Structure 1
Amino acid sequence: MKTLSFLVSRLGKAVLVVLGVVIVNFMLIRMAPGDPAAVLAGESGSSDPAYVEQLRQQFGLDQPVYVQLATYLKGIVQLDLGYSYRERLPVLDLILDRLPATLLLMACAFVFAITLGVLFGIVASRSRYQGKRPWLDSVLMSGALLIYATPQFWLALLAIIYFSLHLGWLPPFGMETVAAGFTGWARVKDIAAHLVLPTLSLGCFFMAVYARLTRASMLEVLGMDFIKTARAKGVPVGEIIRHHALRNALLPVVTFAGIQLGQMAGGAVLTETVFGWPGIGRLMFDALIQRDYQLLLGVFLVTSTMVVVFNLLTDLVYRFIDPRIQDA
């Protein structure tokens, strides 16, 4: 019952957060300079004011802002995110077509970052705690700091130049080989090869953060009294690390990982643009350049919902790792 009450409470707050984000995004988009109807008319080779006004009426841009907002909110309730006047397709269809690619990239980057980041943090803290090979701690943390300080787009470009152009090991752009006609495992391998560089580019920054955070949290836990008591009782260091220190040290890492999942969705915009990855990040970039406001609002809504869902899942994982929270 406590878990159910927790879920209901969090879902209610999540709905309010998403609603607030939708309203703020809608108002900011409407306050942006430029008229999408005039842009669309100019690209079609017509500057006739009558044609521009016709486009404004067609897309509801001639209505007062509060009427447009009410219409948009009503459409969201009905799972209608509007119509893209540039792509000539419903916004929801465009997003659903691109969303799997973004989720695949984010999942791979997150697993890569959290796995290697926590592993490097454990290795670094253990070497510092035992006093054996202290140079390993310095090397790992210096490397993490270097990766953290490197701009993401520069790292992506370096990866393309070295691994694709110089060595020729991996494809530089896209999600799969164009017109290759692969099926089955051949297509899976082709997508996996295209996925390596975007995953490394997006995940390395977060891996560095998790490594440093895990190391700091592990060293803090290893200095506590219950760890000293376990050492005094003769418990091996490996068992202390795995069964006593790691679970407590993971609490801040899990909290931070949940927050950064939302940042990873934002970072995917740059990564998808550099690597030509056909996800919603690239879709949002194209919509911004083309002033496709309905598509922009739809992408903002989906990414905001993703961030809220990720934070809800983080709360659930946090309660699983630390059962004391369930009684709080």
Structure 2
Amino acid sequence: MRIIKRLLTAIGTLAFVLCFNFFLFRAVGDPKQDLARNPKLPKAAQDAIIEQRGLDQNQWVQFKHYVDDTLSGDLGRSFITNRPVVDELLGALPDTLLIAGVATILASLIGPWVGLHAAWKRGRARDTLLTQGCVALYAIPVFWLGMLLIAAFAQAVPLLPTGHATEPGSTATGFAHAADVAQHAVLPISTLTLGLLAQYSVNMRSSVVAAMQEDYVLTARAVGLRPRTIRRRHIVPNALLPVVTVIGLNLGFVLGGAITVEALFSWPGIGTLTMQAIQGKDYPLLQGLFLLSSAMVIMMNLATDLLYSRLDPRIRD
């Protein structure tokens, strides 16, 4: 019953986003007025485009067509490229999944490990060094962190490229192409990883410190269990629960919101596509991007909620 309630809540939220998505971008601008301001389009061409895209109809008729088309998998056509929005999204999504996915995996492994070792020696020099370092990383804006990495590893010590997914003009295929992409992905992945692991580390440290004060840990120490056994069997599994929630929630935002990092490194993903759509006032593409990002966040919230209930039986009860 609880799973069904969560599914219905997620579906209801997605339905609200679907409706809100349509009116949001019409509240900030009118596609017909944008076409009229284009001096390169004669009046006849403007009228033809408006009629072709259904912009001459009232908003409620447009809304009905929008909902029907969206439910059938048709998100419209881009104003800029005239390609289907679905094709534009599917073309950019793999590049975003690459850097966001790898960064999330690395941060999810390194961040909790750092937080655990800081909390285990809390109050000592190692705890101070690790915690203050993570707090500093967490406070640095991600674009500034990326610029520092560019200055260090692309300019001062020119080891890595500063942008794009491949070398411009490259015709490499197979392993050479994969190696080229991997080299270009190092700095974007490093930027996202450092920003995320700082948050995960601080959360893990707080959870471990709180878990070390629980009665079950004190009981385990009283019966003579070794510290490593207590840490592995009792502290870490319970301390990871809040961190898993943060990781799951962040995943949706990272996938849908890596705009700054992709723009900084000219990475051809969802973030760069969003910038292009904003600059070109490409309303269908913006609607598709907003819907995709929202759906990712909603699905990650649902998956995290279900996973949390599996990890902690008290939630199910």
Name the TM-score class by shorter chain: over 0.9
Q: Which residue of 1 aligns with 2:102?
A: 108
Matched, 1:201 2:191: yes
Q: Structure 2-normalised TM-score?
A: 0.94
Q: Which residue of 2 aligns with 1:230?
A: 220
8 Å contact kept, 1:124–1:136: yes
CA distance in 1, matches of 2:80, 2:36: 11
Question: What is the aligned counterpart of 2:5 among 2, 9, 15?
Answer: 9
8 Å contact kept, 2:251–2:297: yes
Write out aligned runs for 1:5-44 (5 A): 5-33=1-29, 35-40=30-35, 42-43=37-38
* Deviates further, 163-172 or 138-147: 163-172
Where structure 1 has 5 or more consecutive residues not aligned to the other structure, the ranges are none
Q: Structure 1-normalised TM-score?
A: 0.91
Q: Deviations over 1:193-228 (max 9, x none)?
A: 111111121222221111111001101000111111
Q: Cα gap change, 1:180/1:53 in structure 2, threshold over 3 Å: closer, same or farther?
A: closer
- Which residue identity lines up with residue 255 of structure 2 in the other structure? A
SS in 1 for 2:14: helix
Q: Deviations over 1:105-155 (max 9, x none)?
A: 211111122111101100001112xx7xx1000001110111111111111
Where structure 2 has 5 or more consecutive residues not aligned to the other structure, the ranges are none
8 Å contact kept, 2:256–2:296: no
Q: Which residue of 1 aligns with 2:268?
A: 278
* Deviates further, 66-75 or 13-22: 13-22
* Deviates further, 6-15 or 159-168: 6-15
Matched, 1:219 2:206: no
SS in 1 for 2:258: helix
CA distance in 2, matches of 1:176, 1:191: 5
- Which residue identity lines up with residue 113 of structure 1 in the other structure? A
Q: Cα gap change, 1:266/1:78 in structure 2, threshold over 3 Å: closer, same or farther?
A: closer
Q: Cα gap change, 1:320/1:189 in structure 2, threshold over 3 Å: closer, same or farther?
A: farther
Over aligned residues, Cα RMSD in angstroms?
1.8
CA distance in 1, matches of 2:185, 2:300: 22
Matched, 1:45 2:35: no
SS in 2 for 1:83: coil
Q: 1:44 Cα deviation (Å)?
A: 6.4
Q: 1:178 Cα deviation (Å)?
A: 2.8
Q: Which residue of 1 aligns with 2:48?
A: 54
Q: Which residue of 2 aligns with 1:68?
A: 62
8 Å contact kept, 1:202–1:267: no
Q: Deviations over 1:25-48 (max 9, x none)?
A: 211101113x434444655613x4
CA distance in 2, matches of 1:217, 1:149: 20
- Which residue identity lines up with residue 248 of structure 1 in the other structure? N
Q: 1:188 Cα deviation (Å)?
A: 2.1
Matched, 1:290 2:280: yes
Q: Which residue of 2 aligns with 1:137?
A: 127
Q: Which residue of 1 aligns with 2:76?
A: 82
Matched, 1:247 2:237: yes
Matched, 1:257 2:247: yes
* Deviates further, 204-213 or 309-318: 309-318
CA distance in 2, matches of 1:124, 1:266: 31
Q: 1:271 Cα deviation (Å)?
A: 0.9
SS in 1 for 2:54: coil
Q: Deviations over 1:173-192 (max 9, x none)?
A: 01122333333332222222
Aligned residues, how many? Answer: 317
- Which residue identity lines up with residue 36 of structure 1 in the other structure? P
Q: Which residue of 2 aligns with 1:162?
A: 152
8 Å contact kept, 1:38–1:52: no
